[in-house]
Structure 1
Amino acid sequence: MIEGLELRHHTAEQAAGHIDRLVELYLMVYADGGEFHSEDRYRRQLAGHMQRDGWDLVTATVDGELVGYIYGFPLPAETRWWAGIHEPIPAGFTDEDGKRTFAISELMVAPDWRRRGIAKSLHDELLAGRTQERATLLAEPDNTPAQAAYLSWGWQKVTKLRPGWEHAPTYDVLMKDVSRNNGEQGSPPSYWLG
């Protein structure tokens, strides 16, 4: 563990005063990300996501410096999260009720702080104690370090999805069983893969 590393959960209300710091780190991480990773689009995304019931942010700081964060929220019944999903998928795969799936929207660590276990610490802290059955996230197929990390943390690729945001890339859809929350890696339930 990094000396001085502090992980802290924030509700949307608690995070409201830290938006500029969150955006600043996002822009540093995605400096070469093109139009999709623009400040304006990310501020709109963040504002929309923070309105979701159960939104949870975990920040990582070292001596007060924001070095990384992760956030997500349970998918409501009327979610647009699955819009743009590639077929085929198992029947009922995208059915949501607000309690079935926790979606991780962002996980990032400042470039100078990578490969020190911060991303894994953030990931584990956010998912610890979840009451949902499963978690999902979208990963860029060519982001080899992130893909390798997710697979080593027990995530499984299921299909692809292209969100409705303008200039959005096509992502890999990853799923993880969090119903046990015991940290063990295992095979995904059969209905994930058909």
Structure 2
Amino acid sequence: MSPALALQRYGAGDTTDLLDTLADVWAEAHTGHHDVAAAGFTPDTLRRQITGHAHHDGFVLVAAYAEGQLVGFGYGFRCSPSYWYGEQLRPAITPDARDTDSLAGICELAVRTGWQGRGVGTGIHTALLEALRTEWVSLLAMPDNGPARQLYDRLGYRYAGPYSAGPDGPVLDLLLLRTPL
């Protein structure tokens, strides 16, 4: 991680003032990813998503700053396997992760393009794991997002199966990580 990088942890009550900046970082991180827009993900979707997720117990957002500018962020919260996987996918999940009471979902991890590949995503991820303190962590990834998948593979995530939030929703890759707690 770059020595000029500072990580800041935020709780649910802190997100409102950050929403526009987070949306800007997210939009830049996804520039050129036409599959993201085709799946219906937009900066406005992100704003609604963060606002809705901030009501969950254990919500935490980690922001990375360099030279006073927000260059990346990630957030997640503790949740139940039924909530996160849904009943349809739950039987396909490894029993340890399916039956745990120690699970967190990471909902977003975005880094400005000029800061990608410099350890920012890894630093944010590490800070999220430290804050969430669960035995299992899961996240969803676009199937064709090679750079993100390279990061998740390097962090130790394993493919668990396809995930869709509904019959008309995009199919995403569900990834699982057993944390070292």
Cα shift at 1:117: 0.8
Matched residue, 2:156:
154
How far apart are the structure 2 equivalents of 1:22 and 1:136? 21
Mapping of residues 96-107 of structure 1, within 5 Å:
99-107=101-109
Cα shift at 1:142: 1.1
Change in Cα spacing, 1:17 to 1:63, as seen in structure 2 (3 Å) is same
How far apart are the structure 2 equivalents of 1:30 and 1:42? 12
Higher helix share: 2
Match of 1:37, SS?
Answer: coil
Matched residue, 2:12:
12
Change in Cα spacing, 1:159 to 1:177, as seen in structure 2 (3 Å) is same
Match of 2:85, SS?
Answer: coil
Matched residue, 1:40:
44
Mapping of residues 161-176 of structure 1, within 5 Å:
161-164=163-166, 168-176=169-177
Query: Gaps spanning 5+ residues in structure 2: where?
Result: none
TM-score for the superposition, normalised by structure 2: 0.85
Larger radius of gyration: 1
Match of 1:132, SS?
Answer: coil
- Percent pairwise identity: 30
Query: Gaps spanning 5+ residues in structure 1: where?
Result: 182-194
TM-score for the superposition, normalised by structure 1: 0.80
Change in Cα spacing, 1:115 to 1:106, as seen in structure 2 (3 Å) is same
Cα shift at 1:93: 5.2
RMSD of aligned Cα (Å): 2.4
Cα shift at 1:92: 7.9
- Contact 1:9–1:57 (CA under 8 A) maintained in structure 2: yes
Amino acid corresponding to residue 109 of structure 1 in structure 2: V
How far apart are the structure 1 equivalents of 2:90 and 2:50? 25
- Contact 2:58–2:132 (CA under 8 A) maintained in structure 1: no
